[in-house]
Amino acid sequence: MRLTIIVPDNIVAIDGLARRIDLQGFDLPPNLRVVQWIGDKGWEEYTDAFNEEITDISAYQPIIDEWRRLKTEDEARAAEEAARQADPLYGLDGEALARKKFDLAKAAADAALDVAASQPVEVGIPEGTWRYNGGDASASAILGAVTLAEALGETSVTLWDADNVLRQMSLASAMTVAVTIAQTYRAAAYARASAIAVAKAEMDAAIAETDV
């Protein structure tokens, strides 16, 4: 073991790992400045005297024990924090656990809907089979383009597909694209709502059990 005690700074280092310890309560000589111990011998440094060699570290064992106690506490706190970071349910029970489970389930359902909305939707129409951006915003934009074309007396519309290629198609085909995208998004939205409803029912049941 290598031990360094720097008394004025309240610093204790063992094997290179230093920590601050209040040394006032360890009954050290008032003129002691530094203690160095390497292996089986060491020395003491004083503010007003020559260094003294030592071959017995037992006088400083209480300080060593305190350093080890603090190290154990630090390691326990670090382990608990790591467990908390790895498991969002760590340390929870009762109503708090039930509500956290619901929050996680809702977040997962929201994320699944976001993914579904961002995925291209492949649509087959007479003009060809192409991919279009998913989501209700995409469906609404295409529907708006169809409505505008109809108001202008046009019989076709040109739309960007998911690969940024302009595709010209009839208004009926464009409406098919819009409807297909909307149906795909609606199915994902229904799945989200169903998952949240199940999670809420489980939460309510769990909370009811804790209230019994």
For 167-189, b/e burial (b = at least 16 CB within 10 A) is bebbbebbbbbbebbbebbeebe
Q: How many domains does one find in the chain?
A: 2
Tell me the pLDDT tens digit for each residue of 152-183.
999 999 999 999 999 999 999 999 999 999 99
Same domain, residue pair 143 and 173: yes
Return the pLDDT at 212. 61
Do both 132 and 54 map to the same domain?
Answer: no
**CA 127 from centre of chain:** 46
Single out the residue of 89, 113, 108 nearest to residue 206, CA to CA: 89
Task: Provide the residue range defining the domain that includes 190.
Answer: 94-211
Task: Please tell me the distance from the alpha carbon of residue 119 to that of residue 134, in angstroms, as a whole number.
Answer: 6
Give 188's Cβ-side CA count (13 Å radius): 21
Residues 202 and 104 in one domain: yes
Same domain, 185 and 131: yes
Provide the pLDDT confidence category of residue 210 given band limits of 50, 70 and 90. confident
Asked whether residue 62 falls in the same domain as residue 10, the answer is yes
**Summary mean pLDDT of the chain:** 94
Amino acid code (one letter) for 191: A
**pTM reported for the whole predicted model:** 0.64
Same structural domain, 161 and 66: no
Whether residues 51 and 124 fall in one domain: no
Domain boundary among 86, 105, 129: 86
Last residue of a domain, one of 42, 67, 86: 86
Query: Where does the pLDDT of residue 60 fall: very low under 50, low under 70, confident under 90, or very high at 90 and above?
Result: very high
Residue 19 has what pLDDT?
Answer: 95
Mean pLDDT in residue range 176-204: 96
What mean pLDDT is predicted for residues 87-97?
92
Instruction: With cut-offs at 50, 70 and 90, classify the pLDDT of residue 127.
Output: very high
The answer for residues whose C-beta is within 8 angstroms of residue 139's C-beta and 6 or more apart is 178, 179, 181, 182, 185
Q: What is the pLDDT of residues 62-74, one digit of tens each?
A: 999 999 999 999 9
77 and 118 belong to one structural domain: no
Angle at 134 between CA 128 and CA 140, to 5 degrees: 95
Instruction: Give me the mean pLDDT over the 194-206 stretch.
Output: 96
Given 86, 121, 146, the domain boundary residue is 86
Tens of pLDDT, residue by residue over 30-57, are 999 999 999 999 999 999 989 999 999 9
